[in-house]
Structure 1
Amino acid sequence: MTQDDWLADPQYREAVADLLGALAYGELTAFTRLAGDSELSPTQPLKAAVAGLAVAEFRHYEMIVARLEAMGVAPETAMAPFIPAVDAFHERTRPSTWLEGLVKAYVGDGIATDFYREVAAYVDPSTRELVNSAMQDVGQADFVVKVVREAIRTDPRVAGRLALWGRRLVGEALSQAQQVAVERDALASLLVGGVGGPHRPSADLAELGRMFARLTDEHTRRMGRLGLAA
């Protein structure tokens, strides 16, 4: 089946538009947050490095917008349903320090990345490739790990505060992922089936439980890379 064959199903088309709309707004907010973090960076080299990460996120946003437009979907329409939930998440997890902002970019965005990659397992190959490209690490992982570990070496007290911050982020991020997954019927149908034809893969309740367990496991791994207790 070609992508056009998949998209011929109106429900599937709506579901893909939802997925890409959620991704696009997530990438747009990632760009604006990293741009703000860049301004708060303590040194010029760090400022330039974070600005580079922001630019990469905006390029991902442009990729997704281009696909929505190619589908004949207005990007602002696709993004609109997800603005309240994403904005509320960022309001609840507003960092109080530059380091907290970096940890959020790595840990919080990492959970979102893992979630959308899980969802992408149930879409057509072309859309899956786009999602995986847009979710590609642009260098933020190694950068954040290096900066945070150096901060901990300089002041070990930082570790406790950032570990608590990471635990708060995982709870909020998983809650947001669940909210996105269940509140939009079209997007939920990607996971549980019912669109895209009888041969399209779908997940049962047990698999959904395993999916969220995998998200938690990946969070623990990321925290370990930072040198923080999960």
Structure 2
Amino acid sequence: MTETPPAAGSSGVTDLLGVLAYAELTAFWRLAEDAARLAPSLTDRAVLSDLAATEYGHFRLVRDRLTEMGADPEEAMAPFVAALDDWHAKTKPGDWLEALVKAYVGTGIAQDFYREAARHVDARTSGLVDEVLADEGRSEFAVDRVRGALSQDPKRTGRLALWARRMVGEALSQGQRVAAARPDLAALLVGPAGEDLAEISRMFARLTEAHGKRMSALGLTPGP
């Protein structure tokens, strides 16, 4: 029997859009800060500022959808403020390359979880999540700058690989914290009726594969 995915307005969908809205809002703040604080050239500052502006546009899309659903955007975001702020505080980049790795690898693992949750919601919500998580040039920019820097100084590879692993570890830790506090959101990750252990294993395999591809793209792990 096919189960109907959670509808817009359900607590799980509201949680998904709430965490995504706050993630996009904080991404705007952090990218703008990194552009001003760490970018080594005006060109880099401009590109990162453009990406920040895009994130704010995505935040507005999710905020407006929450309002349309009858939810208060601030109330929807509130349960996730502490976890996301804590993650950003623990992964504040110390230099330009760390900022780029965070923007690509750290943000990427979080977005993977949102995409997994969106597989189990109504079509409109799923489409909105896909639109908001569109790459918008972030990957190409980060990969180009990081690989260029590593080609000039390969000794940086080990440090940046450790930095990426640290961010993913922190992201998983905060994700577990959110899942424990918001069971309806956690339920979206495993789908209707909890699905089965095999599907959960496949989900984590997809997450691991996506992370490995990002690390390889940056030159932080051996290629295939």
TM-score by length of 2: 0.90
Q: Amino acid of the residue matched to residue 52 of structure 1?
A: D
Mapped to 2, the partners of 1:61 and 1:203 lie a distance apart of 31
For 1:64-121, what per-residue CA distance to the aligned partner results, in whole angstroms no more than 9, with x for missing partners?
A: 0010000111111000000111111111112111110110010011011111101101
> Which residue in 1 is equivalent to 2:35?
38
What runs of 5+ residues in structure 2 fail to find an aligned partner?
none
Aligned residues: 217
Q: 2:155 aligns with which of 151, 154, 157?
A: 157
For 1:15-57, what per-residue CA distance to the aligned partner results, in whole angstroms no more than 9, with x for missing partners?
A: 1111000000001111111001111211111110100110111
For 1:137-170, what per-residue CA distance to the aligned partner results, in whole angstroms no more than 9, with x for missing partners?
A: 0110000000001111121111111111111112
Mapped to 1, the partners of 2:179 and 2:197 lie a distance apart of 13
Contact 1:86–1:176 (CA under 8 A) maintained in structure 2: yes
> Which residue in 2 is equivalent to 1:89?
87
Mapped to 2, the partners of 1:76 and 1:36 lie a distance apart of 23
Contact 2:116–2:189 (CA under 8 A) maintained in structure 1: no
Percentage identity across aligned positions?
53
**Bigger Cα displacement from structure 2, 178-187 vs 161-170:** 178-187
Partner secondary structure for residue 92 of structure 2: coil
**Bigger Cα displacement from structure 2, 57-66 vs 181-190:** 181-190
> Which residue in 2 is equivalent to 1:169?
167
Q: 1:119 aligns with which of 92, 117, 120?
A: 117
> Which residue in 1 is equivalent to 2:15?
18
Mapped to 1, the partners of 2:70 and 2:102 lie a distance apart of 34
Q: Amino acid of the residue matched to residue 98 of structure 1?
A: W
Contact 1:152–1:158 (CA under 8 A) maintained in structure 2: yes
> Which residue in 2 is equivalent to 1:55?
53
Partner secondary structure for residue 6 of structure 1: coil
**Bigger Cα displacement from structure 2, 178-187 vs 200-209:** 200-209
Mapped to 1, the partners of 2:180 and 2:216 lie a distance apart of 30
Q: 2:107 aligns with which of 106, 109, 117?
A: 109
What runs of 5+ residues in structure 1 fail to find an aligned partner?
194-199
Mapped to 2, the partners of 1:182 and 1:212 lie a distance apart of 18
Mapped to 1, the partners of 2:122 and 2:39 lie a distance apart of 40
Change in Cα spacing, 1:70 to 1:14, as seen in structure 2 (3 Å) is: same
**Bigger Cα displacement from structure 2, 78-87 vs 158-167:** 158-167
Mapped to 2, the partners of 1:225 and 1:99 lie a distance apart of 14
Mapped to 2, the partners of 1:62 and 1:30 lie a distance apart of 13
TM-score by length of 1: 0.88
Mapped to 1, the partners of 2:180 and 2:206 lie a distance apart of 18
> Which residue in 1 is equivalent to 2:219?
227
> Which residue in 2 is equivalent to 1:6?
7
Deviation at 1:192? 4.6
Partner secondary structure for residue 95 of structure 1: coil
Q: Amino acid of the residue matched to residue 19 of structure 2?
A: A
Contact 1:18–1:187 (CA under 8 A) maintained in structure 2: yes
Contact 1:53–1:140 (CA under 8 A) maintained in structure 2: yes
Mapped to 2, the partners of 1:222 and 1:37 lie a distance apart of 21
